[in-house]
Amino acid sequence: MKFVRSLENMFEKYIEGFFNKKFSSGLQPIEIGKQLVRTMDDEKTVGISKTYVPNLYIVYLNNADYSRIVSYSLTICKELSFYIADQAEKRQYTIIGTPVIEFNEDLGVTKGNFRVASFFSEPLPEENTLESEDLGCLDSDTRVFDKVDCSMIGKDTCLLGTLKVLEGPDMGVKIDVKNNRVNIGRRASNELPLTDLNTSRLQAYVIVEEKNHILYDAKSLNGTYVNDHRIMRKELVNGDHIKIGNTVILYEVN
């Protein structure tokens, strides 16, 4: 509990007095830390051997509150990062990399309030995962998604498709989509790496569920669209156009 006490002391020393003097909104900064932990608990993804939690958390504030906290943001974010890491360790969660906390302004947030968005900005390890309700749109039951080598099971049982970039900096790039997970985004190790700066490091991914290719948005900042509709989860069909950032990708079934 020593770390938690030190966090609360940090809030009192560096933030509470500042908020009390500068804010008339009633915003309580200690609640930010508590909400980050609640979000971490809610957005966990259960793997075969580990439970993963998001590594990127964005706190959205009213523009007036944001302008007052921005000069303290580096200190606050650093302390909150330590706090999240500590709480994850106590819960035996795994975070890929160091937790990153950012503050942004949002005109839709009323004065004295805030909202938290979390993201997996790094691809999860390629172990079989139980995709839980981390995207808020899966069924209540959990499913196992196995990585399958098509050469081992034959064409009749292997789902074959392709993703081809039609528009954007990577136009012409084409990859096969089989029974393996395909990560899409700016990270070089993704199965479909993109150079489009308007995409996230892990923007979206495709997995197989019940003999269908399913596209999931990885809680990206700019969103993932299929046929001009923003999606969190979408069963792909032949001819679907996936738009992320300035990139348009065609999904086709072989």
Q: pLDDT digit string (tens) for 35-75?
A: 999 999 988 887 778 888 988 898 888 888 888 778 877 88
Residue with tokens 């993963």: 52
- Tens digit of pLDDT for each residue in 174-206? 999 988 889 999 988 899 999 998 898 889 999
The Cα 4–Cα 185 span in angstroms is 36
The structure tokens listed for 222 are 């700019």
* pTM (global) more than 0.85: no
**Tokens coding 166:** 């039609």
Per the CB < 8 A criterion, the answer to whether 63 and 105 are in contact is yes
Beta bridge mates, 61: 105, 114
C-alpha–C-alpha distance, residues 66 and 76, integer Å: 13
Tokens of 99: 């937790």
pLDDT at 206: 93
The pLDDT value recorded for residue 9 is: 62
CB 143 within 8 A of CB 47: no
Sheet holding 182-185, edge to edge: 192-193, 182-185, 204-209, 212-217, 233-235
Distance from the Cα of residue 178 to its chain's centroid: 23
Assign 51 to helix, strand or coil. strand
- b/e map of 230-247 (b: 16 or more CB within 10 Å)? ebbebebeeebebbbbeb
* CA atoms of 48 and 71, how far apart (whole Å): 42
Say how far residue 10 (Cα) sits from the centre of its chain.
28
Tell me what the mean pLDDT of segment 130-137 comes to.
36
